[in-house]
Structure 1
Amino acid sequence: MPTTITESGPFERLVNLHISEEEIDAGKSSAARRLSQELKLKGFRPGKAPTPVVEAAVGKARLRQETIEDLINPTLNKILTDEDIRPAVSPVLEDIDDVDGGVDVSVRVTLWPEIETPKYKDRKIEIESPEVTDGELDEQVKRMLEQFATVEEVDRPAGEGDFVSVDVSASKDGESVEEATASDLLYEVGSEMFIEGIDEHLLGKSAGDTVTFEGALPAGFGERAGEQVTFEITVQEVKERILPDFDDEWVEENTEYETVAELTEELKGRLADAKLQAVSRQFGDRVMSTLRDQLQVELPEALVRAEMDNHLHRFVHRLEENELTLDDYFQASGVDRNAFVEDLREQATLSIQNQLIFEAVAQAEGLEVTEEDMSNTLSNLAARYDDPAGFIRAFQESGQELALASDILRNRAMDVILQSATPVDENGEPVDLKLTIESEQEQVVEGEIVEAEPVEGEIVEAEAEEEE
């Protein structure tokens, strides 16, 4: 049958193609070589067994099926290239029918949505001031001094920032919750830690006072986390935090500086750098937010789910680096699984919208990635490693060249977007951020080889089932 492409939805096309029996016969030798790499055939090295030997080992039906599957991808990719169709996710194999003279194949392809290029030029974006205030500097000094503070028992009600020594017990339906019982627990009032709502019950309480309230067991209680219980807390002591005197003598004894003035200047410089970077990120985030607000496009569900899988894969990879599982994360954090999935969806949606914006801007600006760009970027990444050549080999074998090119183009588009906008303060006055600005997007490859995402045009046998 002739190749046909029909619209099966707003973002979907059904591609019907034919692979002839002659093409199947011609492709058997290639499929046989691939299979012989996997099989242990007596008398032959891997990949060297003749086609008849492989066919005898696996059977005619399997060799034919393997050959057909090998032929689908290049046949489909040629059709998609000729028709200028770019899949958003891996195409899904719908059906294979044996017919006279070969097989008919149906493949469902999800497309990238098309958008109008958002207005990204000459925009004024309000941001917070990057200037360090006296209050921020004082707070930094206070946090530093708190690391050297002592505590003294006081005879007065507990206030914000005081420490209280407490005995804690919990019960549910009259039964004691033993794992939530503790004695002489030192707690900082106002720290908003341990038990949600505990601070409001401890503020103003004195030694000997007992408070009782309903609350949820915190995240550290595993499967019981979030369970509603009755807490009873008795204040044994109230202790005040005593900060050391911030003078030249203290500075010289406890830091590498000699005077308050020197240390204060150093702290102010560090604060200024940190705040400048934070405000720069804020600028990038707000610029992208204003552009996303201009989008009026529905996203294909298959694309959203694929991006959710990518985000989940990266998150699980980070957990595994710390020898943790996803279940460990849920138990330790107390995060609801449904809320976690919804957050993944929000992240995926934002990432896709950003990608659409970057591609639209790149096209509008005529941005391109050359072989020289790829080589220079890869060399710069490899230079961070003890074995640069090994890094480059591993990267090339991982099949991430397209991902790298996409990242380079994305970052260039982001540069254009940021350079086309002006950061201003609350009075509308321009703010000089001085730094190279990073958006909420991840940076190019961040020095790590990761598993490659599915290559566009790659056939999968069936759609993944949705989680229950």
Structure 2
Amino acid sequence: MKTTVEKLSPTRVKLAISVTPDELGPSITHAYGHIAEQINVPGFRKGKVPPAIVDQRVGKAAVLEHAVNEGLDGFYREAVRESEVRPLGRPQADIVTWPNDKDFTGDLELAIEVDVRPEITVPEYEGIALTVEAAAIADDDVDAELDKLRSRFGTLVTVDRPATTGDFAQIDLVASIDGVEVDTANAISYELGSGELIEGIDEALDSLTAGESTTFTAPLLGGDHAGEQAEIAVTLTAVKERELPEADDDFAQIASEFDTIAELRESLKEQAAQQKTFSQGGEAREKLVDALLALVEIPVPAALVEDEVHRHLEGENRLEDEAHRAEVAEASEKTFRTQILLDHIVEQEKVQVSQDELTQYLIQGAAQYGMEPNEFIKILSENNQIGQMVGEVARNKALAIVLGKAKVTDTEGNAVDLTAFTAVPGDGEAGDSADEAVASDEAEVVEEAQAAADARCPPSPTPSRSPPRRSPPRLRRRSVRRPRRRPQLPPRRPRPRSSRREHDQEPPPIRRRAAPAVSGCSVRPGRTRTPPAPPPANTGGSAWRRPIDSPPKRQLKRSNTWPTWLCPTVFSTAS
């Protein structure tokens, strides 16, 4: 097979592919076999119809079209490997020249355009200077942590007074649209000021006493009428306030493994310091990315950004919100630029990802969605996204390597030690390559994930992780059907396909008949991140509650030897 590459722009190329009759032969043989299984010919069992009879029934032209349709994806992938281009988006294919449909002689000529990763010069990052907020721990910080712990052990006591912020209200809700009741909820316990329920609920409940009712208008957050304005009738049935236990030695023994409140406060101080350090690490990472992006021009395919914006707005049912569209477009473009830059750093630093690192990362991702690791990895595997996770770990590791070479100080001029957030080139090379592991046996990754399911990543102060993206969609070619009359064939049977997806190396598949609605790419945008789309632990499809992620459970004491840069909540490439 002969392939030539024409560069159309820094981010787009055209592949001219010439397929010989010998190379098309296996697809033609498979086409005959598949059609033979679908047609009924008296005197022949299904699948045993000779090619000559198939030609009489459907015609050689139909067999040829079936064969080309069957082999198109494989020809494209082989061309990508030979030409060493790095596809980012979905390709668009034209069939320029067909072989002779009488005897299948002559070459098949294809023209495929695809967005590719641009070539850039990585800026110098050795010794880059970064400034982050100081991490001094005051008594107020310890008091705040102690109050959070006390609130977990608090008791709710019914009070006879108007509701105010911080109270727990027991309420009944009725939603109506145009006078028609569309949803109800009874005996909901809600903390005023938490923002977990429908917009306007805090203002409506403020100053109400038990037994009183009021109405307000707000858009529903879920269900069949999500996004529609509804009249909400709310009845306050009880007001409760939380009584906190005394912060004494008895409380320390109940709430922790410590005997005295002084020991507990010291542990909380260490925990607060850890949270401040995590905050510094996240801030340094964000400023490092911004500093690097400011030093290099990185073009991003417009179609890639537009597809991502459309997918995001469609998911939020806000396709008509132009202001939000502009915000999402800006964030998506920055995310793609970041990932392209980190991909180049991965190559420059020769970053390797071990199977152990991949397994740890998948376990942590599962914890963020409140899923069992084997279930989470199964979804990723079914969607051919394990390879994408390898790329994500590699980018996180590359960023950690660059951070290790930066000079970080706080606002008071003190040097900041972020060793826990950094990595060094060569880490992960001792173990098995994650690429090889993905290609050989994904079940082994699942088993390792199950074995390490109790491990947890240190929590980030503001964990935020978007659901993983779907795998790249199938493609269709743009050329119209040849103007010949052919009988309609039954749907063809898909051929088995390898599950391997090397991180950011495997091109997205290309098929003539599929009609993808969104872009596929080998670099996942972080804002709408991409692995499957497992739902975050939530309150279900309620029309009242806002969707929230469930971070991993926090503990007062933990032992964790995993590299901090592996934590998705800290060093995700998402912005």
1:281 alignment partner AA: G
CA–CA distance in 2 between the matches of 1:148 and 1:432? Answer: 37
2:132 aligns to what? 127
- Are positions 1:413 and 2:398 aligned together? yes
Task: Report if the CA contact (8 A) 1:170-1:177 is conserved.
Answer: yes
Deviations 1:213-238 (A, max 9, x none): 754155257516551547687x7876
2:510 aligns to what? 459
CA–CA distance in 1 between the matches of 2:188 and 2:99? Answer: 77
- Are positions 1:430 and 2:415 aligned together? yes
CA–CA distance in 1 between the matches of 2:287 and 2:91? Answer: 34
Task: Report if the CA contact (8 A) 1:120-1:291 is conserved.
Answer: yes
- Are positions 1:138 and 2:152 aligned together? no
Q: 1:395 to 1:224 in 2, by over 3 A?
A: closer
CA–CA distance in 2 between the matches of 1:236 and 1:246? Answer: 31
- Are positions 1:361 and 2:321 aligned together? no
CA–CA distance in 1 between the matches of 2:108 and 2:34? Answer: 21
1:383 positional shift: 12
Q: 1:348 to 1:37 in 2, by over 3 A?
A: farther
2:157 aligns to what? 151
2:510 alignment partner AA: I
SS of equivalent residue, structure 2 residue 150? helix
- Are positions 1:11 and 2:11 aligned together? yes
2:157 alignment partner AA: V
SS of equivalent residue, structure 1 residue 125? strand
SS of equivalent residue, structure 1 residue 219? coil
Task: Report if the CA contact (8 A) 2:4-2:15 is conserved.
Answer: yes
1:280-299 to 2 correspondence within 5 Å?
280-299=281-300
Task: Report if the CA contact (8 A) 1:194-1:218 is conserved.
Answer: no
1:357 positional shift: 0.7
2:123 aligns to what? 118
Task: Report if the CA contact (8 A) 2:88-2:116 is conserved.
Answer: yes
CA–CA distance in 1 between the matches of 2:40 and 2:93? Answer: 30
Task: Report if the CA contact (8 A) 1:277-1:435 is conserved.
Answer: no
Deviations 1:156-198 (A, max 9, x none): x65543456778788888x58685697x876544333435345
Q: 1:54 to 1:89 in 2, by over 3 A?
A: farther
Task: Report if the CA contact (8 A) 2:217-2:232 is conserved.
Answer: yes
CA–CA distance in 1 between the matches of 2:177 and 2:46? Answer: 68
User: What's the TM-score once normalised by structure 1's chain length?
Assistant: 0.66
Gaps of 5+ in 1: 313-325, 385-391, 439-443
Aligned residues: 425
Q: 1:45 to 1:261 in 2, by over 3 A?
A: farther
1:35 positional shift: 6.7
CA–CA distance in 2 between the matches of 1:12 and 1:186? Answer: 55
Task: Report if the CA contact (8 A) 1:27-1:67 is conserved.
Answer: yes
Residues 346-355 or 103-112, more deviating: 346-355
Task: Report if the CA contact (8 A) 1:15-1:106 is conserved.
Answer: yes
2:95 aligns to what? 95
SS of equivalent residue, structure 2 residue 420? coil
Deviations 1:19-48 (A, max 9, x none): 4556545763465567779999998898x9
Q: 1:401 to 1:251 in 2, by over 3 A?
A: closer
SS of equivalent residue, structure 2 residue 225? helix
SS of equivalent residue, structure 1 residue 423? strand
CA–CA distance in 2 between the matches of 1:457 and 1:186? Answer: 48
1:287 positional shift: 1.9
Task: Report if the CA contact (8 A) 2:73-2:511 is conserved.
Answer: no
Q: 1:38 to 1:143 in 2, by over 3 A?
A: farther
SS of equivalent residue, structure 1 residue 435? helix
Gaps of 5+ in 2: 101-105, 365-376, 424-433, 450-467, 474-505, 519-575
Task: Report if the CA contact (8 A) 1:158-1:238 is conserved.
Answer: yes
Deviations 1:424-459 (A, max 9, x none): 222232212342359xxxxx8996699864741743
- Are positions 1:192 and 2:195 aligned together? yes
Task: Report if the CA contact (8 A) 2:154-2:245 is conserved.
Answer: yes
CA–CA distance in 1 between the matches of 2:285 and 2:336? Answer: 17
1:68 aligns to what? 68
1:63 alignment partner AA: V
CA–CA distance in 1 between the matches of 2:255 and 2:75? Answer: 71
CA–CA distance in 2 between the matches of 1:115 and 1:465? Answer: 30
Task: Report if the CA contact (8 A) 1:217-1:228 is conserved.
Answer: yes
Q: 1:93 to 1:246 in 2, by over 3 A?
A: same
Deviations 1:65-103 (A, max 9, x none): 233345555655565555554333343212343366444
Q: 1:423 to 1:231 in 2, by over 3 A?
A: farther
Task: Report if the CA contact (8 A) 2:175-2:230 is conserved.
Answer: no
Task: Report if the CA contact (8 A) 1:196-1:216 is conserved.
Answer: yes
1:441 aligns to what? none
2:229 aligns to what? 227
Task: Report if the CA contact (8 A) 2:358-2:393 is conserved.
Answer: no
SS of equivalent residue, structure 1 residue 289? helix
Q: 1:361 to 1:152 in 2, by over 3 A?
A: same
Percent identity between the two aligned chains? 22
Q: 1:255 to 1:356 in 2, by over 3 A?
A: closer
2:218 aligns to what? 216
Give the structure with the larger helix fraction. Answer: 1
CA–CA distance in 2 between the matches of 1:64 and 1:165? Answer: 69
Task: Report if the CA contact (8 A) 2:73-2:510 is conserved.
Answer: yes
1:355 alignment partner AA: Q
1:24-35 to 2 correspondence within 5 Å?
24=24, 28-29=28-29, 32=32
1:238-277 to 2 correspondence within 5 Å?
240-252=241-253, 256-277=257-278
Task: Report if the CA contact (8 A) 2:156-2:242 is conserved.
Answer: yes
Residues 235-244 or 113-122, more deviating: 235-244
Q: 1:256 to 1:51 in 2, by over 3 A?
A: same
CA–CA distance in 1 between the matches of 2:50 and 2:358? Answer: 40
Q: 1:214 to 1:461 in 2, by over 3 A?
A: same
SS of equivalent residue, structure 2 residue 112? strand
1:244 positional shift: 2.5
CA–CA distance in 2 between the matches of 1:171 and 1:74? Answer: 54
Task: Report if the CA contact (8 A) 1:216-1:228 is conserved.
Answer: yes
Q: 1:425 to 1:133 in 2, by over 3 A?
A: same
Structure whose alpha-carbon radius of gyration is higher:
1
1:68 alignment partner AA: V
Q: 1:108 to 1:152 in 2, by over 3 A?
A: closer
